[in-house]
Each structure stands twice: as C-alpha cells, then as structure tokens.
Structure 1
Amino acid sequence: MFKFNLLPSPADNIYRGNKIALWFFIAFVCLMTWRSIIHMLFEKFGMHEIANLAVLSGDPDPMPLIYMFFSLWGFAQLIFCGVCWIVIFRYKSLIPLMLVFWLIEWSGRLFLYPFIGRATVDSGIYSTGNTPGVEGAPYVTILLVIFLILSLREKK
C-alpha cells in the first residue's frame, strides 16, 4: 500500500518503504557526495574535463572567479548531501522527502534549463560538449520517480 506521507510525525529512524529504494538512496547519495567533492575541491578538472566547459580568456583573467563560483556550487551540493547523510543515519522516515528534493533538482535540468539560457552553453562557444548532468538527467529523473514510488510503498 502506498502512503504519501512525506512529512511523518514524528520524524524517526524507522524506514517504512521498500528496501531497494533505501539502498538506491544510499548509493545515489554516495555518488552525489563524490560529485560535490569534485566540484568543490577539483573545480578545474570538474569544469573542463567532466562538464566540458571551455577555458575563457580576458584581462583580467576571468577563470579564477569562475572557479570560485564552481567551487561554491560544489560546497552547496555537499551541504545538501550532508543533510541526506543525517537522514540516512538518524531520520530514515524522511527518505521519501529527500527523494522529492533530488527529483526537483534533476527534473529541473530537463524542464527549466531550456528556458534559462542553456542554448548559450550548448552553442559551442562556451563548451566542448554536453555535461554528464544534462546527458543523464532524463534517466536519473526516471530512476528517482521509480524509487520515490517504492519508498512510499509500505511493507506489509
């Protein structure tokens, strides 16, 4: 039976959904934590080798500022991953809510990016190819929907 209770009272460490969704969530948070660390600490590698963004030139050199913002973005991602790790270890009943938050982020790549200037990045002037986040967004969104539904399905 599905119980659409994203804000259980009390928020406890009793996970009521399908175990496969729990293990998916843990693996997904591991991957997102790794992604966040790469963005934060290895911003040049993450930006050019993974995200395929071009090196810009100018006077003054714009790249240090761009790297700083890329690193701050990784830090913001890492903060959210930290919240997810707290949920995994202490408040498992909130896992469906965390999956909703991840679903908002990843589906935003599909539905918002086309309207907020993605064409500029895709023009080839600023990039050498698509980012893995853009390429994988449809698949990750589908997986998140599936595992959200499974996380809401209570054990008998």
Structure 2
Amino acid sequence: MNWILPDRIDNHFPGHRAVLAVFAAITAMTIGRSLFHMLAPDGGAQSVAHIPLDTFSPVQAGQAVIFVFALWGLSQLIMGLLYVVALARYRALIPLLLVFIVVEYAGRYLLGHMRPLDVTHAPPGKILDHIMIPLALVLLFFSRPAFGRR
C-alpha cells in the first residue's frame, strides 16, 4: 500500500510514464468542465447535459435541483475525505488544502454574486463564505514553519 499512501510526498512517481500523461489529460478535462459549468449561461444544464429546462414542470425542476445538490454533496464528501487523509497521513499537504479552501469559498462568494439565487433565507453556506476565507488565511499563516512546534 506504500505506493498509494507513500511515507514521503515528493515529485517522484514510481509508475509508468503513460499514467502521468493520461492523468494530465484527465486533470485538464476536469478543470475545463468545471470552468464551463461555472461560466456557461445555462451552467451546461441544457447545452451539455441536454436537460430540457424550458419544458420542466415544477416537480421536474425540483428534482433537477435536488439531483444537482446531491452531486455537489458528493464533491464535498470527496474533499472531506481528502482532508481526513491529510490529517491522518499527509499533514504536509494541509497548507495546500487551506489554499484550496480559500479558493473554494472565494469562488462560492463570487459565483453567488455572478449568479444570484432567489431564496427565502440566506443559506448557512453564505455565512460560511465570510468566515471560512479569513479563517483559512489565518490558519495558512500559522502553518508556516516559523510557527511549528518548539
């Protein structure tokens, strides 16, 4: 299992070079797909996923929203599990993960302004946007080696 959870995190990859090329392509596809969904006028719902938004009944529209929230929950679970792995085995990655937290919550904040939603009450995530960004920045500051255990 050391090839999955190595003792040292460095830039050495012990596997076949083709894996790196395919992983780079997957990475580019993932980032491109993410940016498209964030920036496309319909979020890609109709133009890519062929979800007939303009023909939905209120029930179908509600089911679509619930499905998208479930997908978002899956993404949050994967990030949370990555955080668990970092806490348990790869604490050297915590500063990088804090940067990702800043980027995620700043992105949520910006997307909330770019694509405002009509809601009855502010969701907890909107409040968290204002807390998590400065909190993660403070934690990142104190993650520097100068503040390590003495």
Pair in the same fold by TM > 0.5 = yes
Q: Smaller-chain TM-score range?
A: 0.5 to 0.7
Sort the Cα spacing of 1:111 and 1:151 in 2 relative to 1 into closer, same or farther, 3 A. Answer: same
Q: Which runs of 5+ in 2 are unaligned?
A: 1-7, 11-55
SS at match of 1:128: coil
TM-score, normalized by length of structure 2?
Answer: 0.56
1:135 and 1:66 map into 2 onto residues whose CA distance is 21
1:134 and 1:109 map into 2 onto residues whose CA distance is 8
| 2:115 aligned residue | 117
1:140 and 1:146 map into 2 onto residues whose CA distance is 10
Sort the Cα spacing of 1:91 and 1:62 in 2 relative to 1 into closer, same or farther, 3 A. Answer: same
SS at match of 2:107: helix
**Segments ≥4 residues shifted beyond 2 Å:** 57-61, 109-113, 153-156
Q: Which runs of 5+ in 1 are unaligned?
A: 1-9, 13-56
2:106 and 2:81 map into 1 onto residues whose CA distance is 21
| 2:143 aligned residue | 151
RMSD of aligned Cα (Å): 2.2
TM-score, normalized by length of structure 1?
Answer: 0.54
Give me the identity figure in percent: 28
2:59 and 2:68 map into 1 onto residues whose CA distance is 16
Q: How many residues are treated as equivalent by the alignment?
A: 96
Between structure 1 and structure 2, the one with the greater Rg is 2
Deviations 1:33-59 (A, max 9, x none): xxxxxxxxxxxxxxxxxxxxxxxx926
